[in-house]
Amino acid sequence: MTISQGARANQNGKVFEDMMIPLFKANGFEIFTESELKKIDVTNIKRYVVKNAHYITIYNEKGRTEFVIVDDLRKIRVEAKYQASQGSVDEKFPYMLLNGIEQYPESEVIFVVDGGGYKKGARKWLEEHIKENWLDYKSKGKDIKLMSITEFVNWFNHEFS
């Protein structure tokens, strides 16, 4: 049985996201979905991660990102994109960044982009627009970072170990 390119891309993206779960757990974070969170009292849980965290997009529709990291009062939204071969993930970078600036409720945002299959100029565009404070996002209280998976692991261990 052959698997379509789109199905393989979805599978690779899921594996990429799942690589982060042991990192969170190793640093004392519990993992919950939003539906699980609705059923429990988290006031005594200081460190947890919300998986498949929802938000309202720039199109005024439901969207989701991979994670929201909660460490007491600090909340960090994490959007992860993996593309190992040619595809359309890189075409989503402007949409992703605009949602990060305008729609994510968290002030800290991390885009984890890896795989090397995106167009050469796409990651560079994203990196430059973050560095250049596109749409003056810093004045809106946003702190946006772009990382590879390795950079994210190093950053996370430094921040939360």
pLDDT tens sequence across 120-159:
899 999 999 999 999 999 999 999 999 999 999 999 999 9
The two three-digit tokens of residue 14, written as one number: 């899921």
Q: What is the C-alpha to C-alpha distance for residues 59 and 28, in angstroms, rounded to an integer?
A: 36
Q: What is the C-alpha to C-alpha distance for residues 100 and 54, in angstroms, rounded to an integer?
A: 13
Mean pLDDT of the chain: 90
Q: For domain 5-153, which architecture applies?
A: 3-Layer(aba) Sandwich (3.40)
pLDDT for 14: 64
Q: 26 with 86: CB under 8 angstroms?
A: no
Strands 47-56 and 143-147: unpaired
Tell me phi and psi for residue 68, to 5 degrees.
Answer: -125, 120
pLDDT in tens, 22-32: 999 999 999 99
Q: 113 with 126: CB under 8 angstroms?
A: yes
> How much of the chain exceeds pLDDT 90, in percent?
75
Q: What is the C-alpha to C-alpha distance for residues 143 and 36, in angstroms, rounded to an integer?
A: 28
pLDDT in tens, 81-126: 888 777 777 889 999 999 999 999 999 999 999 988 888 899 999 9
Sequence-ordered strand ranges (E) for 26-133 = 30-33, 47-56, 62-71, 74-82, 108-114
> How much of the chain exceeds pLDDT 70, in percent?
91
pTM over the 0.85 mark:
yes
pLDDT for 83: 82
Q: What are the sequence ranges of the domains in the chain?
A: 5-153
pLDDT for 94: 95
